[in-house]
Amino acid sequence: MANTKNKITYGVCNVHVFPITSTDETGVPTYGTAFAMPGCTEVSIDAEGSSEPFFADNTPYYVGVSNTGYSGSITVADIPEEFLTQVLKEVKSANGTYFENADVEPAEFAMAFEFQGDQKKRRHLFYRCKATRPSVASQTKEDKITPNTNQLELTAMPRLDNQIVKARCEEGDKDYDGWYTKPVEYTPTAVAAKA
């Protein structure tokens, strides 16, 4: 029987953002229409949390581990207008100029993307993210053109209603094809243990 599981993953592509347009009193978010973030060169997101050991009998008797989400960054060739206006809340004037207001809070959003694998593509989804403003930087053109990139610092937090932080699936899973249509909802179901 041929191996159908990934041994390795590599690359990143198909970054999509779902702006959170509102959150009700119970913490359930409403996700807006997804838009693409083309030109992604890197996603680097590290787990956040802590572990606290409890010692008894001269050994770590119990270790409590907390999950407070993730933090990291995404690097793209250029930031699309949808992200500037729907997430960072910049205002585009009738003359085409973008304005950033220091008193306006950026919106939360969900972010989906995928990694290539040796057997299957793996898709990831973070349900509740917040991004900082990107830096403004460039450098002189020399004998060859080196494209600029834009880095967004991200925090991925648990959802307020069910504490779900992220999801992932692979080609062939039921949720795979609709991954970029809307964030897949968590429905707890029993999974039979493999013998």
pTM (two decimals): 0.86
Measuring CA to CA, how many Å separate 185 from each of 126, 161, 166, 176? 12, 12, 11, 13
Report the C-alpha gap between 45 and 156 in whole angstroms.
9
Dmax of the chain from CA atoms? Answer: 72
Q: Give residue-wise pLDDT tens across range 119-150.
A: 899 999 999 999 999 888 777 777 888 888 89
Compute the average pLDDT of residues 49-59.
85
Query: Taking all residues of the chain, what is their mean pLDDT, rounded to a whole number?
Result: 90
Q: Give residue-wise pLDDT tens across range 152-195.
A: 999 999 999 999 999 999 999 999 999 999 999 987 775 655 54
Report percent pLDDT > 70 for the chain: 95
Report the C-alpha gap between 102 and 19 in whole angstroms.
20
**pLDDT on residue 1:** 43
Query: Is the confidence at residue 87, as pLDDT, over 90?
Result: yes
**pLDDT on residue 22:** 96
**pLDDT on residue 118:** 76
Measuring CA to CA, how many Å separate 27 from each of 23, 82, 181? 6, 24, 21
CA nearest to 114, candidates 181, 158, 169, 166: 169
